[in-house]
Amino acid sequence: MTIAAPLWSTLPVPPTELCLDKVLRCGQSFRWKLSAPNEWTCTLRGRVVTLQQEPSHIKYRAVFPPGRSDSTTPTNDDTEELLRDYFNLSVNLEALYSHWSSVDPNFLKKSTTFAGIRILRQDPWENVVSFICSSNNNISRISQMVNNLCLHFGPHLATIDSIDYHDFPEPSALAVPGVEQRLRELGFGYRAKYIAKAALLVANERVPGWLNSLRKVSYREAHDTLLELPGVGPKVADCVCLMSLDKPGALPVDTHVWQIAQRDYKFKGVKGKTLNKTTYDAIGDHFRKLWGEEAGWAHSVLFTADLKAFSEVKNETTVVSTKAVLTAQVETLMQNTSIKQEQSMMTAETSRKRVKREDVEEKEGEKEINDGVAETSSLVDRIKRRRRSGRS
């Protein structure tokens, strides 16, 4: 049954505090879609949320599943509270930008064009799975994988304008027989194994709310604990710490960030052509010393500024370039359409090519994950031994 959309409500947040077009396309969350120009839609905590950016505020509306119509009344609808939490709106972003600009000329140079980029406060389980998918991958393909995960395993919430919306699946939904094989059929490759194993661990071997409880511990403890999850190395652990667990100093380092450090900050660090643990830690410490306690937030601004998806606005001097934003949004809508056409036209030949490509990715991705995990395995073993000795 198709559900009619409710009226819009207003969230008084200017683009300098939250720029939707950049925040929702910069590789933090992978489920927001352009449902129309300047209109972003995603399922969040049991509802379908749609956002629009205005010059002085953000418009939003929420659609709840059938049978929960009472939740849409003004007294019961907690969507504004949800959005304030999800977008970390208690943090004064303009004040942080001012500080980073005062200590970093490179940040100052890019801050005006790339204003309003803030760190999301996402569900930790969704974040873990999304960044397991990120191994040896790009934003477009990660988004496809996460969308397929919701479509095939997540609960259906609503159908709006003939589009079905599914929420993100709980660990228990992915901790059943056949999940790994089904994910491989959907193109997840080697990542399927890690997602299935992580779901089994979280659903069957951890207490409810275990991941959320890591918000209350130190960064180091949260990071080291996440390394116990299959498929989670240092970078994925830092992504989850930063974007879900309230650790603003967590700084995910990949080859992209390494290039920024070398190109824009003349980072020498440790010699070598591979991003090993020593280099990883050195880059993070370098930026934490420069930017301070919220280094992860500052890092996200420069990471976004360096993405090819935003090349059209790199030379802009205004906070929001309407022409650039609309151009990018039209390209995204066209890309979404082409993806659907490509999926419907899948032939045996393209399927064979996909399998061959996935075989290559599997070797590269397994190496990427295993290298990161191997460097931290001894640390994880020490943590487990300490816990066992504490229980005895």
* Residues with catalytic roles: 235
End-to-end CA distance of the chain: 56
**How many other CB atoms are there within 10 angstroms of residue 327's CB atom?**
13
Which amino acid is residue 280, in one-letter code? Y
Both structure tokens of 212: 């959320």
Residue 271 buriedness (CB in 10 A; 0-12 / 13-18 / 19+): exposed
CA neighbor of 279 nearest in space, from 256, 258, 248: 258
Q: What are the DSSP calls for 5-61, one per residue?
A: ----EEE---TTT--HHHHTTSSS-S--EEEETTEEEEEETTEEEEEEE-SS-EEEE
Dihedral of CA 277/258/302/233: which sign?
A: negative
**Residues in a beta bridge with 156:** 166
- The Cβ of residue 326 has, within 10 Å, a number of other Cβ atoms equal to 13
Structure token digits, residue 89 = 């709106």
